[in-house]
Structure 1
Amino acid sequence: MPTKAKGPSQRQLRAGELVRRVLVEILAGASLRDPALQGVSITITEVRTSPDLKHATVYCAPLMGTSGVDMEDVIAGLKRSSSFLRGRLGREMETKFTPRLHFLADTTFDTASEMNALLSQPAVKRDLRRGEEE
């Protein structure tokens, strides 16, 4: 009998949201020295924590979309700044452990805009209307 994959626990979800909110405040208020992060507005879309809350995967995207911003450079800059961010996170949060931060680019906005572009093509609209009529 196959086992069902369990989602994150309520504890993991609460901790991830707490880390996300605090990181947003830190990034909004702190001026990071890394050149890849200078003048770039970053949004933290989601934080997923490990079951023991010692690791956090941080999904981020540029605030104004990906135009003119090399997301690989931004992620590399965030990785270089992760010890500073973790230190600030530890001072702001009241938790037993401060999680190690792992940064990844969030591509869901790009995927959604690609889907919208596909669905707005005339041939696709025509096929969708034909399916509704049947």
Structure 2
Amino acid sequence: MRRNETPEGRSVRLLRVGEQVRHALSDILMRGEVHDDVLASHMVSVTEVRMSPDLRHATVFVKPLLGGDEDIVIKALRTNTAFLQSEVARRVNTKYAAKLKFLADESFDEGSHIDRLLRDPSIARDLDQDAD
């Protein structure tokens, strides 16, 4: 592991810039600066931003609060990508403006699925036997 890397192998710089982009996007969406009816009527949470090593591409994971209309919200974000990219470039000081790619965040669904599996009586019984 290099000196400036996290245990996952991503550099601290990538994580820092990703967080700056996430905060900028969250702020833009929270303030309603995007003039889109769909985005105005939905609260959108930007859960994670993963930057490419050259900082030219950003994969943005989003989740509409209350989980509804995910496809419609993703489509609205993709429609307004040019505006969002320009706003992020203005707020985050990097050499190049990152191209944004919006994806639905599936981590909450995966976590719920694992939680349901662990609460299954047959699996809970096996876990109790392992603890003994």
Match for 1:41 among 23, 35, 43? 43
Q: Which residue of 1 aligns with 2:26?
A: 24
Q: Which residue of 1 aligns with 2:4?
A: none
Gaps of 5+ in 1: 1-5
Q: Where is the helix percentage greater, Structure 1 or Structure 2?
A: 2
- AA in 2 matched with 1:28: M
How many angstroms apart in 2 are the aligned matches of 1:90 and 1:131? 52
TM-align CA RMSD: 1.7
How many angstroms apart in 2 are the aligned matches of 1:10 and 1:130? 41
TM-score between both structures, scaled by the size of structure 2: 0.85
Q: Which residue of 2 aligns with 1:70?
A: 69
Q: Which residue of 1 aligns with 2:3?
A: none
- AA in 2 matched with 1:82: T
Runs of 4+ in 1 over 4 A off after TM superposition: none
How many angstroms apart in 2 are the aligned matches of 1:85 and 1:20? 11
Identity %: 41
Partner SS state of residue 97, structure 2: coil
Q: Which residue of 2 aligns with 1:127?
A: 126
The 10-residue stretch of structure 1 (100-109 or 87-96) with the greater mean CA deviation from structure 2: 87-96
What's the CA shift string for 1:58-77, capped at 9, x where partnerless? Answer: 0111223x2xx121221111
Q: Which residue of 1 aligns with 2:108?
A: 109
What's the CA shift string for 1:78-118, capped at 9, x where partnerless? Answer: 11111111111122222222211000111000110111111
TM-score between both structures, scaled by the size of structure 1: 0.84
Gaps of 5+ in 2: 1-7
What's the CA shift string for 1:25-44, capped at 9, x where partnerless? Answer: 11111243334323211111
Task: Count residues with an aligned counterpart.
Answer: 125
What's the CA shift string for 1:39-62, capped at 9, x where partnerless? Answer: 211111111111111111101112
